[in-house]
Amino acid sequence: MEKPAGTWLAGWSTLKHATHTDERPTVNIIVVGCGRVGSQLAVLFSQDKNNVVVIDTDPQSFGTLGRYFEGRTIVGVGYDEDVLIEAGVEECEVLASVTDQDNSNLMIAEVARKLFGVPRVLTRLYNPDRENAYLQLGLDFVCGTTLVAEEMYSMVMAEHGGHVDTFGDYEVLRFVLNLEGTGKPSIQVSDVEREHEVRIIAFERKDNSLSSIPSKESTLYDGDILLACIHKNLLERFSMFMSPHMQGVKRKGVLHAPDALRRPVVIDAAGREKGAR
């Protein structure tokens, strides 16, 4: 059963803009898998005036492409060399493997990048347990299960500030420093880190006059914007320093407010997912 296409397209539509602009030539793109995600992805690329070929084993699936799709369709198995050659893989610059099977997506991705040398190969991943293996293989992937889980987690964590990312048992948060409970206008980084087992990664003054990676001797002031890493079990205790008022705090154009989208997904120049939440 496929995951909601909207979550995927938050990331894939960003890739669309990365592949073609007014200054760039048309890109040759192959999309393998014409389910809800693959069909919408293909239409996005097609509307952006790229050369798009869609491959799927089920000819009826192409009906989801609609009348606005201007590319080609091929019935076949996505990892079959002859099918890929017919699709133009030898001139292909981007291949997206988005079938509903992890094993198929992996095979398609490996054939495309290792046998045909496609410059940018991206694959869809269903099972988040395979993420580390895919990273070790050097595969560029998007995992819908992880995206949905992290988005929902971010919404729950909104009261603690802006959830940026998760590394094992540690959470990376962006928040406004609240010193009201200390009765002090400022505090040293060393005091915060020593007493609360947190690592302050970076800070920005509330008037935007300074942003920096702090040293142990750096001074933080009430209202400063912090990026910090903390163990998930210590969040409640540390929450006294996190202002609930995130209005006006922006990160990469995203407003941190209760009704704001806290974790859009961005694909960088190498095709990797970046957390721009």
Express as a percent the part of the chain with pLDDT over 90. Answer: 37
At residue 264 the predicted structure's pLDDT band, cuts being 50, 70 and 90, is very low
User: Of the ranges 4-18, 64-78, 164-178, 192-206, which one carries the lowest mean pLDDT score?
Assistant: 4-18
The domain segmentation of the chain, as residue ranges, is 5-150, 162-245
CATH code that applies to domain 5-150: 3.40.50.720
pLDDT confidence of residue 272: 43
Distances in whole angstroms, Cα of residue 61 to Cα of each of 81, 143, 209, 257: 21, 22, 55, 39
Q: What is the mean pLDDT of residues 181-209?
A: 88
User: Do 5-150 and 162-245 have matching folds?
Assistant: no
Burial class (CB in 10 A: 0-12, 13-18, 19+), 163: buried
User: Of the ranges 73-87, 166-180, 189-203, which one carries the lowest mean pLDDT score?
Assistant: 166-180
pLDDT confidence of residue 67: 86
At residue 155 the predicted structure's pLDDT band, cuts being 50, 70 and 90, is low
More confident residue, 234 or 261: 234
At residue 34 the predicted structure's pLDDT band, cuts being 50, 70 and 90, is very high
B/e letters for 203-227, b = 16+ CB within 10 Å, e = fewer, are bbeeeeeeeeebeeeeebebebbbb
pLDDT confidence of residue 11: 45
CATH of the structural domain 162-245, one choice from 3.90.1150.10, 1.10.1270.20, 3.40.50.2300, 3.30.70.1450: 3.30.70.1450
pLDDT confidence of residue 199: 93
At residue 166 the predicted structure's pLDDT band, cuts being 50, 70 and 90, is confident
Tell me the three state secondary structure of residue 245. Answer: coil
What is the dihedral angle through the alpha carbons of 32, 35, 37, 38, rounded to the nearest 10 degrees?
30
